[in-house]
Each structure stands twice: as C-alpha cells, then as structure tokens.
Amino acid sequence: MIKWEALDKPKEFRGLGFIDTRAMNSALLCKWIYSIESGDKLRRSFLWRGRKDARGGHCLVAWGKVTRPLELGGLGISDLKHLCWALRMRWVWLKKTEPHRPWAALPIQIPGQVYAFFSIAVISEVSNGNHTLFWTDRWIHGQCIADLAPRLLEAIPKRRVKQRTVQEALTGRSWVLDIKGARTVGVIVDFLHLWELLYNFELEPDVEDVHIWRFSASGKYSAKSAYEGFFQGSTEFGPYERIWRTWAPPKCRFFLWLVAHNRCWTADRLACRGLPHPVQCPLCDQEDETINHLLVSCVFARQFWYLLLRQVGLHSLSPQPSDSSFDIWWEKAIRATSGLMQKGLNSLIVLGAWTLWNHRNRCVFYGITPNLGELSPLLEKSAGCGV
Ligand SMILES: [Zn+2]
C-alpha cells in the first residue's frame, strides 16, 4: 500500500500532487500570523509617528495597552490577534451547533487558545446527547468533568476524551470502560463522585442538545461578544469617562489619556532615561517637575486654575496646596457638580490641562517666560461657554 503522505507530494517528487490540508493549514496560519505582525507594526507606526517606520522610543504606551477598549485604558483600537481568534471561533461554534454542515468533518487549524476560550464560553443542555462531548463539554450543571473530576479525567485516553459523546458514554454506562489509567485513590474518589452525579441522568432521544453562548444575552455566538470576552475580568480604567466624554477636541483628550498613564515627557521621566531635562519646573522654578506638579500642585498652575474657574463661578473647586494628584483633584472637582455643568466643567479641565502643557512646552523649547497673560485666550473664551 502507498502511504497517503506520498500521494500528497508534488508530482516532481513522485507524488500525485494532492493538496496536503495540514501543510496548507500550517502555511495559512503562518501567513495569518505574519499579516497580524506586519499590520500591527504599520498601525503602531501610524499612531505614534504618522509614518511607517516608528521605533520603540517613539511609542509612549505599549501596544498591548493601546489596543484595549476605552473603558479598560486603551484607545479602543482592535487587537488583531484577539479579533482573529474571535472570528475563527465562529467555525468551532458552527461545528458544535450545526454539525450537519458538509465541511464539519474537515480538520480546521484553530489555535489552542481559541479552543480553551470556547470551552469556557459554551454551556450545553443535554437532551439526546448526540452533539455534546462527555469528557470536555460543560454539560453537568454548567460544569465540565475537568472541574468536577480532574483526577479521573487524567486516566482517560486523549482520543476518547476528544470523541466520546454523552449519548455513547451513558448508553450502558460505557464511560466506565473509558478509564484506562492507574486506579489511584484520587481517581476512585472522583469516579464515585461522578457516578453519583450521573446516577439518575436520563437522555431524551427525540430532543436535540442546546448549546448556549455565555457572553451574549441571546445565547448565540457573535464575533463582538467573543472579542469582548477576551477582556473579561480586566481592571477598569478609572478616568475613562472623564477623558473621553467631554466636548474637548480629540487631541486634548489624547493628551489626558497620556497623563493618566504618566507617559508625558516631564523632567522626572526624562531624568530616569538619562535624557536632557529641565532642572526645575519651567513654570515656577521652585520644585522638581512631574506631571502632577505641573498640572495641579505648581503655584503657577494653581493660579491658572483659580482664574479659569472663577470665570464660571466655580473657583471654590480650584486646587488647594494640599492637592498633589491631578487625577484625584479632577475627580473631586467633577463629583461636586452634576448634569450639563459637570460635562462643561470636565471639558474645561481637559482644555485647561492641555493649555498648561502647551505653555510649559513653549517655555522649555522656545525659552519664553511663564506668563498667565499668554493663557488669556482660554481664560477669556471660558467666560462665554455657559458653564
Ligand atoms: Zn512648578
């Protein structure tokens, strides 16, 4: 007999030139990974430099953080790797819920992470048990056997684990015959536990199994819910609403996003990297420059905020000498107001912070003297904004 691998070879290598689906899948996977990496490099370069050749030093925030949703501290740019995983999960979902499709039996190259996510995302309600896997699916009160009897699962051959349906396993309790490994005390304890759970379980031969997608209200798979599912359990980004729900222009919001991540090139960060930096704060020339000092605890900044907020009658909210964190002062000021006034004040603070930063840059790079008169355009405009 001729081996199948020999037939897969090209004709010039004495094969029949059949398509080797595994090799093709691997080639497609390599191309996919390469496309993601090169696509990410281009997007990263465009974001930080507006060109295609940005280097590590140009990128102020790690790309993994940039591609998180807004409420998790990113810019809401899609993470291509997770997006591709979410899309590829559709094949696994269709294989499970529509097993009669003609391609369902073909091997599909899916990363292990997709299967791992799928296994926690789907709960099966067993009726006839034909399309639910006994050893791997979550079908016993929303749990799988890996959760309920992990030591017993280790005693089952891998091939059986992947193929045994609930219907096959429960007919004549043939799942007991699948146990091939050593009967240790742990295996026996898990076996008895599983036996007890399944003792009164009965199949309904005329009713199909139902598979429920946990990450959407409808119980059906969607690429959006799968993509969002990859961020489940992530820590929420505190200043998210204050930064992005304002009337301030996008460039100001982007600056505040950098402030929240402490990624502005103030003297403390420049000094850490051994780069030239101002010895003292360029605005007050009294203290070391940090982003918190520059925006809230600097004498110049406090005076600026007082004058700015006085024009809208909110000078009582201006920072006090005890305020040392811009983020904490910002939240405190916002909480003191509500409704439209809150949104107006928030926008004013975003604009004010951006103006202070620009003024600081003019002092550093053009050598001008700090002067509140230079900031008068904003001080005058805010009087008419109706806050
Ligand atoms: Zn200062």
Helix, strand or coil, per DSSP, at residue 213: strand
Alpha carbon of 319 to ligand 1 centroid (Å): 14
Alpha carbon of 363 to ligand 1 centroid (Å): 12
Instruction: Output the pLDDT for position 387.
Output: 41
Alpha carbon of 281 to ligand 1 centroid (Å): 5
Contact 217, 224 (CB under 8 A): no
Alpha carbon of 301 to ligand 1 centroid (Å): 7
d(CA 13, CA 6): 9
Alpha carbon of 345 to ligand 1 centroid (Å): 23
Helix (H) or strand (E) holding 203: none
Instruction: Output the pLDDT for position 376.
Output: 67
Alpha carbon of 333 to ligand 1 centroid (Å): 21
Alpha carbon of 314 to ligand 1 centroid (Å): 23
**Local confidence pLDDT in tens for the 387 residues of the chain:** 445 455 455 555 555 555 455 555 555 555 555 566 777 788 888 888 888 777 777 888 888 899 999 999 999 888 888 898 999 999 999 988 888 888 877 877 888 889 889 989 999 998 888 889 999 999 988 888 888 888 988 888 888 888 889 998 888 888 888 888 778 888 899 899 888 888 888 888 888 889 999 999 999 999 999 999 999 888 889 899 999 999 999 999 999 999 999 999 999 999 998 888 888 899 988 899 999 999 999 999 999 999 999 988 898 999 999 999 999 999 999 999 988 999 999 999 999 999 999 999 999 999 888 888 777 666 665 544 444
- Written as one string, the DSSP assignment of 46-103 is HHHHSSS---GGG-SS-HHHHTS-GGGTS-----HHHHHHHHHHHHHHHHHH-TTSTT
Residue 318 to residues 329, 336, 384, Cα–Cα distance (Å) = 9, 11, 19
Alpha carbon of 164 to ligand 1 centroid (Å): 70
- Written as one string, the DSSP assignment of 306-363 is HHHHHTTT-GGGSPPTT---HHHHHHHHHHT--HHHHHHHHHHHHHHHHHHHHHHHHH
Alpha carbon of 282 to ligand 1 centroid (Å): 7
Instruction: Output the pLDDT for position 386.
Output: 42
Alpha carbon of 316 to ligand 1 centroid (Å): 21
Instruction: Output the pLDDT for position 7.
Output: 47
Closest CA to 325 of 301, 357, 355, 351: 301
Alpha carbon of 299 to ligand 1 centroid (Å): 6
Contact 312, 322 (CB under 8 A): no
Alpha carbon of 343 to ligand 1 centroid (Å): 28
Alpha carbon of 294 to ligand 1 centroid (Å): 6
Query: Can you give the residue ranges of every domain in the chain?
Result: 4-9+18-82, 88-229, 240-382
Alpha carbon of 374 to ligand 1 centroid (Å): 16
Alpha carbon of 368 to ligand 1 centroid (Å): 15
Instruction: Output the pLDDT for position 55.
Output: 78
d(CA 387, CA 340): 8
Alpha carbon of 360 to ligand 1 centroid (Å): 10
Instruction: Output the pLDDT for position 59.
Output: 83
Alpha carbon of 96 to ligand 1 centroid (Å): 62
Alpha carbon of 278 to ligand 1 centroid (Å): 11
Contact 294, 266 (CB under 8 A): yes
